[in-house]
Structures are given as C-alpha cells and as structure tokens.
Amino acid sequence: MTQVREFLSKADIAARVTELGAEIRRAAGADTPVHLVGVLKGAFVFLADVMREIGGDVSCDFIAVSSYVGTQSTGQVQILKDLGHSIEGRYVVIVEDIVDTGLTLAYLQGVLRTRAPKSLTTACLLSKPSRRKVNVPVEHIGFTIEDRFVVGYGLDVNERYRNLPFIGLVQGGD
C-alpha cells in the first residue's frame, strides 16, 4: 500500500504563498501588470493560490511541457501546449511547482526569452538545490527542500495525488 506522509502542511503552504505573492508584487512595482505563465500540470494549484496574493493587475496563461516519466528525469523537454497569448513587452513571471535538475526551467526560460518579454523572472514553490544540473535563476522560492520525491498540492506521481491539500512524501509502492 502506498501512503503519503505530510511534509508541508496546508497552513505552512498558505502562509508562504501569501509571502510569495507580496514578494512578486514588490519586485514588479505597484502599477505593473504582472503576467503569470504557469507550467502545466504541476503548477496549476500553486498558480491559482499565488495569483490571488499578488494584488493589482494580474493575468495568466499556461504552457505544458513534458520532461518526466515516473520519477526519473530524462532531461528531455518538449512543449506539449504553447501559450495562448504573446508575451512581448510584458512583465512575465514563470510559475513552476518545483525546480529539481533545472533542465525544464532552463529550457523554458530560453524559449520565453526569445519572445522578448520586458522582464522574465521565475517563481517556484519548491527547490531541490542538491539536484541541480544547470545553474538557473529562480527569483522567488517558496521552500528549499532535500532530495526527496514529493507529491500533493498539484504535484503528482503518475497523475495521482495532485489533489492533496498538503505536500507529502510517498512511502512504499502500489
């Protein structure tokens, strides 16, 4: 039986997401429209919450990439669904669930930079610095964690557990 042990509680996450929203607004400036680019699927829960904590003019779009099968990083990134709107001249913040090796983000930042946004920064709820293979800038980090595979709050394993309100560690197997 697979079990999930709580690692970051719903309250821990909510408190940090509120801080991150304020941090993103502060960095942008009060009057700047902020355009969030959520990385599907894992970031959709985090994006929905952080978007409501930024305040002011905020819009969002989504991009879907594939980089993982199971729990192993292949390092191969593919755009499965592209943005619906141009980001040229906009203040763009990439919203990602977790930065692990950094390969996904490095690729995405490269692609989005060629589309000439006025500003391009990144917010990640979680970061595993010990796993980094490329040095990728992440301006807003929710929690720095050790090399553990986490699920919940949008993060899955084989499409399961995205609905957990907390972030947990998977124990055992099916």
Mark whether 100 is an active-site residue: yes
Name every residue whose Cβ is closer than 8 Å to that of residue 122 and which is 6 or more positions away in sequence: 93, 94, 95, 96, 99, 105, 109, 136, 137, 138, 139, 140
Return the H-helix or E-strand segment holding 56: none
Closer to ligand 5GP by Cβ: residue 24 or 170: 170
User: Nearest 5°: CA angle at 10, between 42 and 7?
Assistant: 80
User: For 29-102, where are the alpha helices, taking DSSP H only?
Assistant: 44-54
State phi, psi for 36 to the nearest 5 degrees: -90, 135
Name the residue nearer to ligand 5GP (CB basis): 42 or 142.
42
Is residue 103 close enough to count as binding ligand 5GP by CB under 6 A? yes
163 touches ligand 5GP (CB under 6 A)? no
Query: Using CB under 6 A, which of 90, 93, 97, 164 touches ligand 5GP?
Result: 97
* Candidates 17-25, 54-62, 114-122, 153-161; binding stretch for ligand 5GP (CB under 6 A): 153-161
β-pair partners for 81: 64
Residues 6+ positions from 167 with CB-CB distance below 8 Å: 6, 7, 8, 13, 126, 150, 151, 152, 153, 155
Pure H helices in the chain? 10-28, 44-54, 103-113
Residue (28 or 63) nearer to ligand 5GP, CB: 63
Using CB under 6 A as the binding rule, whether residue 151 contacts ligand 5GP is answered as: yes
Give the torsion sign (CA, 76, 36, 159, 20): positive
125 lies in the site for ligand 5GP, by CB under 6 A: no
Build a one-symbol-per-residue string for 63-82: x at contacts with ligand 5GP by CB under 6 A, - elsewhere: ----xx----x---------
Query: Least Å distance between CB 59 and ligand 5GP?
Result: 22
Catalytic hit among 31, 57, 100, 156: 100
Give the residue with the Cβ less far from ligand 5GP, 51 or 103: 103
Query: Which positions touch ligand 5GP (CB under 6 A)?
Result: 42, 67-68, 73, 96-105, 149-151, 155-157
